[in-house]
Structure 1
Amino acid sequence: MSSSPHRALRGLLALCVAAGLASLAPTPAAAAPGTGPTAVVSMGDSYISGEGGRWQGNSLTTSGGRLGTDRAWTGGGYDPSRVYGSSEANGCHRSDSAEVKSAGALAAELINLACSGATTRNVFRASNGGVAYKGEAPQADQLAAVAASRDVKLIALSIGGNDLGFADVITTCATDYIVWYSYCHDDQQAAVDAKIDGAMAAVGKSIDEIRAVMTGAGYAAADYRIVLQSYPSPIPRSTENRYGESGWTRTNTGGCPFWNADSDWARDSLVPQIANRLKAVAQAKGAQFMDLRDMLQGREVCAKSSKLVSSTAPASASTSEWARWIDQNETQGPLQEDMHPNYYGQLALGRCLALVNARTTGNYSCRNTAGSGASGMYLTAG
């Protein structure tokens, strides 16, 4: 990783911490609820599409397989489509380890309609204000084809982060640390506050759009469930960061260039604020809610209780970080992967979804067990 703050800034200005959408060829045969193959569907942005699934932990080694962290390594080069399939071409980045794909045998088909960078407008039906994204139809219109040919049992939705400009928040806070030596939390809190009412209204409309599609396909409300989920924090509290805020280790070694005050704001104010507002939307719209604010606790980038992958600390779900660091100069993959749950984090998200799938009612928080992999995920009510 570079030691130059200005080289770091060039990369950070392009940083995209966003969300996801997928294309699905409709099946000719039609099915009514209760007939056809059962299906669980994921919709929304990058935190559910599988962005960052290429990586098993973070390593300072920039060549070859990066000490086993780079799942795109072929032995002689890099092929991200090994992880993202055909969605590598348009950047939707639907990974093979994405939440719905890692949830186990929940249904006969596990279908990912999410796309990295998507906003609520990319979920709405085209007939009701929705817009295509990255060459793909609005996700609700894609869902219509799925609902007509499968028996959809559950729809998991992650959306709203891009409406709030989460990528801009991350970029601004990192730039303030590397270049301007100033805090970001005060002005960024104001920016989020100015957008959040509109963003939450749009999340509510997204749920309405999904319900309209399902009703149009002949489903009753009791035939399926919608699970709205929140976002995990990819960075730890300042007291849980293994690098001091002075010097360049957070930038050049850890990939977490944020001041203590900004880290604490993001972890304990911003992420909970968004989660609480999303929960209120879910309750108002009759959806279940899966709270992920603490899902990465202790597994975040630079967390004291996790490690970089090295020759003495191999990639492992029990010791490695579960989120992708900020690789400001793109020495290892594109910037859009940064600050997302990685392969290990996505396996954990899949386990969370499986656990919620088994609970037909109620709202739940999903947390990890220190020192365990995805099998250690558990739910608490609330």
Structure 2
Amino acid sequence: MTLGDSFISGEAGRWAGNSNESAAGHAGTDRAWDPQTRASDPHTVYGASYDDGCNRSDSAEVHSAPGSDRRVNLACSGATSTAILLPENGGEPFKGRPSQAEQLQMTADGHPVHAVVISVGGNDLGFSGIISACAKNFVKPPLFAKPCSPEQAKVVDQRLPAMRAAVTAAVRDVRTAMTRAGHPAGSYRLILQSAPSPLPDAARIRYPGDKYDRLYTGGCPFFDKDLTWAHDELGPAVSAGLARVAQEQNTEFLDLSHAFDGREVCSDTTSQVGKGERPSSVRSEWVRFTTSGLGQGQRQESLHPNYYGQLALGTCLGLVLERRPGAYRCDNVPRQSPQSMTVRPADF
């Protein structure tokens, strides 16, 4: 069972790679495209969750992981830790749905549960707003355009303690919900996971120089300094904060912060689809590029694991569940498919 935010709900699972071509379902990258009707229906991928924006895809981590026949995805795009909390502890309905801990209790009652996996914290930190601020700085007139990281790094440092506290409360309420459903601690595996970095550092970007091809072609409108900060500092800092929560709350931890290294949007070891390049889990990007939402899908899909990325995350989870409880790190194998992911003990 999975709970949390867009990085585990399956946001962007509609897309198998990225393409700037519009014909034939954006060169075959749009999994919602029907060649018979020549139209796209996102419900094909997201089901009814598309209507409220939770965007739980058919390729989400819980569905891509090998193993159990019964899988439940309670995560919802945009969720903060408050969306997980039990009502008596401040949990509130989110997008018309009860709090996730409340849903968990009702769903788990009377059914065997092998594992509960949580991905949350990014929205508590304001990750989307931070990245958006960086992109907006990039597209400002040259006189005003400048890297965002010096200012945003201070914001992150200020918010990390509150993020840890919020995630801690969510983990505790998940345990309480499971106990009330007849599953005491120790009878199931409880895993807190981090999120993969969607952006490469500046040394590995496919579009060298702080130029507009990053915006108009690549879908990665960020300055070199901000790319390196996001990959080398922001992602690891969030992951370390979550690892600390996992250690303090005696849960397992899955570090995904470097799982997409070399597979990020605009990475120089990947390519866009089009001009003879078909979607490929080996060559295509594993992250959805930034989009305005006017021509290709929804803006909220930007910088999330796409179909290939979600297959990779499912492989990571499956590998962890095959091992003894603990803290693990998942990595990809260069030039190999999502099924070739590897895990090893995390070093924190």
Q: Shared fold (TM-score greater than 0.5)?
A: yes
Aligned to 2:266: 302
Answering whether residue 24 of structure 2 is matched by residue 64 of structure 1, we say: yes
Residue 187 of structure 1 and its aligned partner are, at CA, apart by: 1.1
Give the whole-Å Cα distance in 2 for the aligned partners of 1:305 and 1:263: 16
Among candidates 215, 218, 226, match of residue 262 of structure 1: 226
Aligned to 1:349: 313
Give the whole-Å Cα distance in 2 for the aligned partners of 1:245 and 1:209: 47
**Does structure 2 retain, via aligned residues, the 8 Å contact 1:85–1:94?**
yes
Aligned to 1:176: 137
> Secondary structure of the residue that 1:346 maps to in structure 2?
helix
Aligned to 1:36: none
AA of the residue aligned to 1:333: G
Aligned to 1:114: 75
Change (3 A) 1:208 1:292: same
Give the whole-Å Cα distance in 1 for the aligned partners of 2:19 and 2:288: 10
> Secondary structure of the residue that 1:221 maps to in structure 2?
coil
Give the whole-Å Cα distance in 2 for the aligned partners of 1:310 and 1:149: 49
Q: TM-score, normalised by structure 1?
A: 0.88
Answering whether residue 96 of structure 2 is matched by residue 132 of structure 1, we say: no
> Secondary structure of the residue that 1:149 maps to in structure 2?
coil
After superposition, what is the alpha-carbon deviation per residue over 1:159-196, rounded to whole angstroms, capped at 9, x for unaligned?
01000000101110001111141110011111111111
Identical aligned residues as a percent: 43
Structure 1 unaligned segments of length 5 or more: list them: 1-40
AA of the residue aligned to 2:51: A
AA of the residue aligned to 2:329: S
Give the whole-Å Cα distance in 2 for the aligned partners of 1:95 and 1:68: 18
Give the whole-Å Cα distance in 1 for the aligned partners of 2:21 and 2:217: 11
After superposition, what is the alpha-carbon deviation per residue over 1:24-59, rounded to whole angstroms, capped at 9, x for unaligned?
xxxxxxxxxxxxxxxxx0000000000000000000
Change (3 A) 1:248 1:329: farther
Give the whole-Å Cα distance in 2 for the aligned partners of 1:331 and 1:168: 22
Among candidates 41, 59, 65, match of residue 97 of structure 1: 59
AA of the residue aligned to 2:9: S
Residue 250 of structure 1 and its aligned partner are, at CA, apart by: 0.3
**Does structure 2 retain, via aligned residues, the 8 Å contact 1:50–1:96?**
yes
Residue 278 of structure 1 and its aligned partner are, at CA, apart by: 0.4
**Does structure 2 retain, via aligned residues, the 8 Å contact 1:230–1:290?**
yes
Aligned to 1:43: 3
Give the whole-Å Cα distance in 1 for the aligned partners of 2:293 and 2:345: 41
After superposition, what is the alpha-carbon deviation per residue over 1:231-271, rounded to whole angstroms, capped at 9, x for unaligned?
11111010100102333110000000101111000000010
- Higher alpha-carbon deviation: 268-277 or 143-152: 143-152
Among candidates 218, 223, 235, match of residue 199 of structure 2: 235
Residue 369 of structure 1 and its aligned partner are, at CA, apart by: 0.5
> Secondary structure of the residue that 2:40 maps to in structure 1?
coil
Give the whole-Å Cα distance in 2 for the aligned partners of 1:330 and 1:196: 33
Aligned to 1:273: 237
> Secondary structure of the residue that 1:379 maps to in structure 2?
strand
**Does structure 2 retain, via aligned residues, the 8 Å contact 1:183–1:259?**
yes
> Secondary structure of the residue that 2:30 maps to in structure 1?
coil
Answering whether residue 38 of structure 2 is matched by residue 79 of structure 1, we say: no
After superposition, what is the alpha-carbon deviation per residue over 1:107-158, rounded to whole angstroms, capped at 9, x for unaligned?
2311000000000000001121100000000000000011103111100100
**Does structure 1 retain, via aligned residues, the 8 Å contact 2:9–2:60?**
yes
Q: TM-score, normalised by structure 2?
A: 0.96
Give the whole-Å Cα distance in 2 for the aligned partners of 1:108 and 1:246: 48
Give the whole-Å Cα distance in 2 for the aligned partners of 1:137 and 1:308: 39
> Secondary structure of the residue that 1:196 maps to in structure 2?
helix
What is the total number of aligned residue pairs between the two structures? 341
Residue 359 of structure 1 and its aligned partner are, at CA, apart by: 1.5
> Secondary structure of the residue that 1:380 maps to in structure 2?
strand
Answering whether residue 102 of structure 2 is matched by residue 141 of structure 1, we say: yes
**Does structure 2 retain, via aligned residues, the 8 Å contact 1:118–1:162?**
yes
**Does structure 1 retain, via aligned residues, the 8 Å contact 2:200–2:267?**
yes
Structure 2 unaligned segments of length 5 or more: list them: none
After the TM superposition, list the runs of 4 or more consecutive aligned residues in structure 1 that deviate by more than 3 angstroms. Answer: none
Give the whole-Å Cα distance in 2 for the aligned partners of 1:206 and 1:72: 33
Give the whole-Å Cα distance in 1 for the aligned partners of 2:255 and 2:199: 17
Among candidates 150, 167, 171, match of residue 128 of structure 2: 167
AA of the residue aligned to 1:323: V
**Does structure 1 retain, via aligned residues, the 8 Å contact 2:210–2:224?**
no
After superposition, what is the alpha-carbon deviation per residue over 1:182-235, rounded to whole angstroms, capped at 9, x for unaligned?
110011111111111111111011110011111112222221011100111111
AA of the residue aligned to 1:59: S
Answering whether residue 324 of structure 2 is matched by residue 360 of structure 1, we say: yes
Residue 335 of structure 1 and its aligned partner are, at CA, apart by: 0.1
